[in-house]
Amino acid sequence: MIEELKNTDVIYKAGGKFKLSALIQKRLLELMEGGRPLIENTEGLTQMEIVIREIKEGKIVLDAVGDEKKPRLDLI
């Protein structure tokens, strides 16, 4: 599954390598704290694989809002 991170489509979809990294970290934390996956058929997938699939399917995006310009995870 890490091979999918080498795909430039995933990188561009997230807005670059650094934004992709931030998005992955933020979403992994949500899943570890009990968040539910936004995709179906997660059986046998690691949390990292779930996050990558969510990004590829456009289920999550990283967005900067407010004066602080802190990243915010928007669930679609």
Strand-pairing partners, residue 62, are 73
pLDDT at res. 72: 61
pLDDT at res. 48: 92
- Distance, CA of 8 to CA of 30 (rounded, Å): 25
Write out pLDDT tens, residues 4-55.
777 788 888 888 889 999 999 999 999 999 999 999 999 999 999 999 999 9
Contact between 20 and 14 (Cβ < 8 Å): yes
- How many domains in the chain? 1
**Confidence at 66, pLDDT banded by 50, 70, 90:** very low
Structural domain containing residue 9 = 2-75
pLDDT at res. 40: 92
Which CATH number do you get for residue 6?
3.90.940
CA dihedral 6, 8, 11, 15 (to 10 degrees): 160
Contact between 64 and 72 (Cβ < 8 Å): yes
Predicted TM-score (pTM) of the model is 0.76
